[in-house]
Amino acid sequence: MKSGTMSFATIGRFWFPVLALVIPLAIIVVVTGQFGGLSIQRTVIEMLISIVIVVGLYVFVGNSGIISFGHATFMAIAAYASAWQTCCEMLKPITMSGLPPFLRDQSIPLLPSAVVSVLLAGGAAFLTGLVIIRLTGLAASISTLAVLFILNVVYSNWDSVTMGSASIVGLPTYVTAWLALGCAVFAIVVAYLYQVSAFGLAIRATREDEVAAAASGISLYWSRLIAFTLSGFMVGLGGVLQAHYLGTVSINSFFLSFTFLALAMLIVGGMGSLGGAVVGVVVITAMVDIFRRLEGGISIGGEQWSLPAGTQELIIAAFMLLILVFRKDGIMAGREMTLPGQEQREKGLING
C-alpha cells in the first residue's frame, strides 16, 4: 500500500505542471460556454489556438534559447495546404486554377487533410532546419526571418495557387472551444514530455552552455533540429486550427505582426518554461480583448467613451517593456507550476 501511495504521489508530482495548466483552461471553457457571450467565447477559442502556436514556438525557442522569427512560415504552409484540400470544389477551378487536378477537382475529408497539412508543415521545418540550424545565435534568428520573407513573397505572387495577397474563402469552419481545448492540451502534453525527455534535456544543456554540452557528447545540430522539426509540426497544427476557425486564409495573417505578437506572448510569460508560454498567452489575450473593447467604446453614465485606435498595441508594447526591465525572465521566471512546498523539498534533498 505504501509503495502504491508513493507511486501515485510520484506520478502526481510528475504531471502536476501539466494539470496546473490544463485544468484552469478547461474551467475557462466550461464557464464561458455556460455564462459567456458569443464574443467572449470567440476570444477563448482564439486564446486556445494561440496556446497551441506559442507552446509550439516554445518547444524550439524556449528550449534552445534561439529566437525564431520564422515559425509563422510553417503555420502558413499548413493553413494553405488545408485550404487547398478542403475549399469548395466549385471555387477552386476558378480562383486556384494552378492547383494539381487531384486537389483542384475534389475536396478531401477534414481529418486526413488536417493530418497531411501538419505533416507538410513539419516536413518543411525539417528541410529548413537542415540548413539554418547550422547557424547559431543572431545569425540563426535572422535566417528564420529570411525564410518568413521568402514564403511571404512567393505566396503573395503565386496567384494561380494561393490567390496572391487576396483571401481564400469557403473553408469549412469546424473548430469549437472543446476541439481547440483538446488541441491545446495535446500541445502542452507533447511539449512537456519533450522537455523532460533525453532530447529536451540535451537541447536545454546546449542553451545553458554550448561548449560544455558539446564536450559532454551532445550534438548541438541534431538536438536543435529535432526541436525545430517538432516545433514546426505543432505550429502547423495551430495554422490548421486558425484556418478552419476563421474560414479564410490570407498570407498577410502570417507575417510580421503575428510573429511579434506570438513572441511577445512567449517573452511576457517567460520563454524558459512551458508554464510561461501558456501564462503569457492568457495574459496578452486578456489585455488585447479588454483594450479592443475599450477602443470600440463603452457606455459610462449615459455617455460613450472610447480609447484612440492603436491603444492596445501601445499598451502591450509598454507592458512588454516593463516585463523586460523589471522581470527579464518573464512572469513565470523560467519556473514550472509546482506543488506547494515542492521546490523547498527538492532543494532540501539536493543540499542533504
In the block, residue with C-alpha cell 507575417: 255
Of the ranges 57-61, 101-105, 172-176, which one carries the lowest mean pLDDT score?
Answer: 101-105
The string over 304-325, giving b where at least 16 C-beta atoms fall within 10 Å of a residue's C-beta and e elsewhere, is eeebeeeebeebbeeebeebee
Q: Which residue has the higher pLDDT, 194 or 9?
A: 194
Contact 326, 264 (CB under 8 A): no
pLDDT in tens, 161-215: 999 999 999 899 999 999 999 999 999 999 999 999 999 999 999 888 888 888 8
Encode 46-65: b = buried (16+ Cβ within 10 Å), e = exposed.
bbbbbbbbbbbbbbbbbbbb
Q: Report pLDDT digits (tens) over 229-244.
A: 999 999 999 999 999 9
Residue at 76: amino acid letter: A
Rounded average pLDDT over 280-300: 86
Scanning the structure block, which residue is given the C-alpha cell 511539449?
A: 191
C-alpha cell at 324: 523586460
Percent of the chain with pLDDT over 90: 62
Per-residue pLDDT of 302-324, as tens digits, reads 777 887 877 888 888 888 888 88
Determine the average pLDDT of the residues in 271-278. 93
Alpha-carbon 182 to chain mean position: 14
